[in-house]
Chains A and B, each alone.
Chain A
Amino acid sequence: MTLPPFEQVLAAHGAEVHRYLVAGVGPIDADDCFQEVMVAALRAYPGLRDDNLRGWLFRVAYTKAIDAHRGRARRPVPVDEPEPHLAPVAGPEPGADDELWLAVRDLPPMQRAAVLHRFLHDLPYRDIGAVLGCSEAAARQNVRVGLASLRRRVATPEQETA
């Protein structure tokens, strides 16, 4: 197979990988994680034997997102300072978006990735399975369980304590 110049891979998928990481690891960590993804990808690129470049890139992103979550778990979190990028903005439901995406970031890695590929990227389950290295059925199950978990946390947060 012939690999296109890496610049073409960046042009075709750079922005969507970045967006995926903003959704999956948060706006603060997305930048550093993006560097890790692309450096690892560029390092491995000449030896690549996979003509689904997009799927391969998102597999790298999946692994590096897990690393980013581990890194954050080890870091002390400044409780009193909200993440600057998540400062409330004028809108009908200030903060509602933040709550959803914080909940997404709390999902187990497979569920998180499956939910993002299903909705953010509108991928069919077969393709999600291909990216995550699991069966179509397992991809569907991860999306279902992840969504149920999000629904519990986001849709009716008050009822948990009632």
Chain B
Amino acid sequence: MNATTDDLEARLRGGPSSTGTGAGEALERFRHRATDEDLVDVAYATMDSPVGELVVAATPTGVVSLAWDDAMLELVAAKVSPRILELPARVDEARRQLDEYFAGTRTRFEVAVDLSLSNGFRREVLRTLSTGVAYGQVVTYGELAERVGNPKASRAVGSAMASNPIPIIVPCHRVVRSGGALGNYSGRDGIVTKRFLLDLEAGSPPLSG
């Protein structure tokens, strides 16, 4: 009796031998179903780039965050919505434009952005920056402060840059110190990445001929 009981319990612990179609396929079906039923508030995917692997996330409004790791998604979950799924197709256009940017063939991003992660003055600064400072140009923190109508707020502009949720697309790398120093950069490898991006925009097209 005991032997039988133990055997039965062992078989229950082992689970059924058949797994059906498997969890992987079921998960893929679920991603489609969640999309069809409009239950995904934020879709994201990763991509390789010359400045390291990037995580691109978007709401139906536009790109909401771009980051060097998926820790940023936790902030998105807290501040926008936790209904976040990895759905590469939903960020394909943004990833394509980033690829073109890194290849030197794109000088302007034409994807909508969603600045939900910023508010007030910081959002205003990021908005001004993304429309007002073109590819290959730089402005100083003070000049940007002036453009938003608050010339004494260069430090606040600095912290707006540091909290930029969509670096590269909202080009905080184009904001530098007066006197020629680069200032800070909060992306991976900090100033090295900032230098890389400015060189990319200053240089001759890498895809020549």
Contact = CB atoms under 8 A, between A and B. Distances in A.
A and B bound? yes
Interface of A: 2-7, 10, 14-15, 18-19, 22-23, 26-28, 30-31, 34-35, 38-39, 42-43, 45-46, 85-86, 89, 97-98, 100-101, 104, 115-116, 118-120, 122, 147, 150-151, 154-155
A89 B20 CA distance: 14
Contacts of B4: 151, 155
Which of B21, B25, B37 gathers most chain A CB within 10 Å?
A: B21
Given A3-B77, A10-B27, 4 more contacts: A5-B73, A15-B23, A89-B17, A116-B12
Interface stretch (B80-88, B103-111, B140-148): B80-88
Task: Identify the 7 closest CB pairs spanning chains A and B, nearest first.
Answer: A27-B20, A5-B84, A119-B12, A18-B23, A3-B82, A15-B23, A85-B18
A32 B15 CA distance: 19
Interface string B84-122: 111000000000000000000000000000000000000
Contacts of A155: 4, 8
B74 A4 contact: yes
A87 to B, nearest CB: 9
Contact of A45 (B73, B82, B86): B82
Interface string B52-93: 000000000000000000100110111001111110000000
Contact of A42 (B12, B13, B26, B39): B39
A71 to B, nearest CB: 16
Contact of A151 (B8, B37, B84, B85): B8
A38 B34 contact: yes
Contacts of A28: 20
Nearest to B76: A5
Contacts of A2: 74, 77-78
Interface in B39-58: 39-40, 42, 44
Given A97-B16, A100-B12, A19 B78 contact: no
Contacts of B20: 18, 22, 26-28, 30-31, 85
A46 B81 contact: yes
Interface residues of B, number: 40
B12 A27 contact: no
Contact of A27 (B16, B34, B82): B16
B107 to A, nearest CB: 33
B19 interface: yes
Contacts of A97: 11, 16-17
B204 interface: no
B33 interface: yes
6 contacts: A10-B30, A14-B26, A18-B23, A22-B18, A27-B21, A119-B9
Nearest to B19: A22
Contact of A150 (B8, B15, B34, B85): B8
B27 A101 contact: no
Contacts of A89: 17
A157 to B, nearest CB: 12
Given A22-B16, A43-B39, A45-B82, A4 B77 contact: yes
Contacts of B37: 39
B84 A14 contact: no
B159 interface: no
B208 interface: no
Contacts of B84: 5-7
